[in-house]
Structure formats: C-alpha cells, structure tokens
Amino acid sequence: MTPITDAAPLCLLTDIPDGGAVEVEALLRGEAESLLVYRHGDDARAYLNVCPHAGRRLDYAPGKFLVRGGTIICAAHGASFAADSGECTQGPCKGDSLRRIDVRVVDGAVRLA
C-alpha cells in the first residue's frame, strides 16, 4: 500500500461501511503509518493502528478490524476501545487510549486535518 500524503484524501467516506473501519497508510512527520479510519454516519475518526497495551496492530488480518456497536476490539489481546474517543474501556490497557489522528470529511473524502 502506498502511503497517502497531505494532498490526497485518505479514502472516500463511502469506502468505509457505516459503523466499520478500514486501514489506510499516511505519511505522518515523514513516516509511513498504518491508520484505522472509523465511520459513524457522515463523520470519520482516525487512530494509529497500534494497541497501547503492547504496541501490536489492532487488525486481525491486514486491514480487517473487529468493530461492533461502536467498539473497536484489539485482535491480539481483546482490549475494547470506544470508537468515538479511542478510550480503552475493557482489557489490559483500561483507561489508556488509542492515538488519535485528526481527520476531516470534505466533499465525501476523508483527509488529514
């Protein structure tokens, strides 16, 4: 996957199932990073694809995330994160949070803010 720069959208909002998440790569401070982009209606949130518990990826397979009822679940240790805030609500890193990356939706495209 080619990392996205500031000029290009990360993805289209319609690429993400409502209540689901996709993986994109973006250049952040000159480094390619894997991001989880979550959609809720016409809004999107993005987080580094890294669990704060052990630094492992959140996806169970490349780009495949466990998202249920507004909760993102780490495939490695089962930690649960509120998709709207990134806060860990259950599991080994309870009280910690995913690292949020500011994004905005412009004309149906999700872009770095």
The answer to whether residue 20 is domain-embedded is yes
The answer to whether residue 96 is domain-embedded is yes
Q: Look at residue 54 in the predicted model and tell me its pLDDT.
A: 84
The answer to whether residue 3 is domain-embedded is no
Strand partners, 40: 43
Can you read off the two tokens belonging to residue 56? 């492992």
Q: Look at residue 1 in the predicted model and tell me its pLDDT.
A: 57
Block residue for tokens 């689901």? 20
* Nearest-angstrom CA–CA distance, 20 and 52: 20
pLDDT in tens, 31-64: 999 999 999 999 999 999 999 998 899 999 999 9
The answer to whether residue 45 is domain-embedded is yes
The answer to whether residue 94 is domain-embedded is yes
Q: Which CATH number covers residue 54?
A: 2.102.10.10
* Nearest-angstrom CA–CA distance, 51 and 92: 10
The answer to whether residue 66 is domain-embedded is yes
Q: Say how many domains are in the chain.
A: 1
The answer to whether residue 2 is domain-embedded is no
Sheet holding 103-106, edge to edge: 11-12, 109-112, 103-106
Can you read off the two tokens belonging to residue 88? 């860990």
- Show the domain range for 96: 11-112
